[in-house]
Amino acid sequence: MYRDPYAENEQLFRLHPYKIFMYLLLGSLSALFFGISAAYLYQIVNNQIDTITPPMIFILNSLLLLASSWFIIRANKAYLADDTDKYTYSLIITLILTIIFMIAQSAAWMYMMTNGMLARNNPSTGYLYVISGLHFMHVIGGIPFLALFIHAAYKRMKEPVSVLVYFSDPEKRLKLRLLTIYWHFLDALWIYLVVFFLLMKVVRGVL
């Protein structure tokens, strides 16, 4: 009778500590960002503060993050297909897009500061800085793990035996999946951030 090795690995790692840690991390981050969002909404409704429209570069940065998510999905598919070149290439492109995002976001903050968009002028600006800054920090936190995957790919994919061992390692597959989940979460969080601030502009107009 055929036995699916991937199904067996799923059973083995169902309650793996890495998974538990990741879900706790994502849960705490969700609570943090939704808490800040709720505080901002409260300020708009009760204190009638002026809202802020994120600069256009915030929206453009969403495209960079979506592209990075697409490439990390390609990396997962290449991993399952034992395609070493596509796997490594996709991880590298994911890292490059993420770095471009960080540079572009730093430029966005510089633009805001040079154009007088400061927290002391408008409380909404402070919320935008805080939420986007927290997101930025968690992107930085994910980069070393992505870099480790790229380093391991270069180090272990030099001969057929090492490639076979690398692609058949169920724990490596689990780590890649968790990294992918984290990356998608950060991308979704950024899109939520942009859409939320745009919606608050509408809410303020109704009030």
Residues 26-58 have pLDDT tens digits of 999 999 999 999 999 998 888 888 888 888 999
pLDDT of residue 3: 38
Parent domain of 131? 56-206
Identify whether 39 is part of a domain: no
Identify whether 128 is part of a domain: yes
Identify whether 37 is part of a domain: no
Identify whether 13 is part of a domain: no
Which long-range CB contacts under 8 A does 146-155 form with residues at least 24 apart? 146/91, 146/94, 146/95, 146/98, 146/179, 146/183, 147/95, 149/91, 149/175, 149/176, 149/179, 150/88, 150/91, 150/92, 150/95, 153/84, 153/87, 153/88, 153/91, 154/88
pLDDT exceeds 70 at position 184: yes
pLDDT of residue 1: 38
Q: pTM for this one?
A: 0.86
User: Closest by alpha carbon to 153, among 136, 182, 175?
Assistant: 175
pLDDT exceeds 80 at position 205: no
pLDDT of residue 10: 54
**Mean confidence (pLDDT) of the chain:** 86
Residue with tokens 């500590």: 17
Identify whether 23 is part of a domain: no
Residues 118-177 have pLDDT tens digits of 877 888 899 999 999 999 999 999 999 999 999 888 777 666 666 677 777 778 888 899
Domain containing residue 121: CATH number: 1.20.120.80
Identify whether 14 is part of a domain: no
Identify whether 22 is part of a domain: no
Share of the chain above pLDDT 90, in %: 53
Give the separation between CA 183 and CA 181, rounded to whole angstroms. Answer: 5
Identify whether 17 is part of a domain: no
Number of domains the chain is built from: 1
Residues 79-133 have pLDDT tens digits of 888 888 899 999 999 999 999 999 999 999 999 999 888 877 888 899 999 999 9
pLDDT of residue 118: 83
